[in-house]
Amino acid sequence: MGTEGVELYERFAELNRRVLKPAIKEINEKSDIHLTFLPAKQARKII
């Protein structure tokens, strides 16, 4: 996704809050496409 080496996005919670959620919200509001996000988990870790 081009976030390699960006220290801010090392934690998934930050990536999700700052990038994924706003992008999904904007797509849902401005288009006829409706997106949902279901992260793939392995035990408790997002993969």
- 1-47 per-position pLDDT tens digit: 566 666 666 788 888 888 899 999 999 999 999 999 888 888 888 77
Classify residue 34: in a domain, yes or no. yes
Query: Which residues span the domain enclosing 31?
Result: 7-46
Residues 6+ apart with CB under 8 A from 46: 12, 39, 40
pLDDT score of 23? 93
In a domain, 33, yes or no: yes
Judging by DSSP bridges, how do beta strands 45-46 and 41-42 pair with one another? antiparallel
Q: What is the pLDDT of residue 11?
A: 81
Give pLDDT, residue 14: 85
Structure tokens at 11: 């934690």
Number of domains in the chain: 1
* Residue 39 forms part of a structural domain: yes
Q: What Å distances lie between residue 26 and 1, 2, 41, CA to CA?
A: 18, 20, 25
Q: How far apart are CA 5 and CA 46, in angstroms?
A: 18
| pLDDT value of position 28 | 94
Q: Is residue 2 part of a domain?
A: no
In a domain, 1, yes or no: no
pLDDT of 24? 94
**pLDDT for position 15:** 86
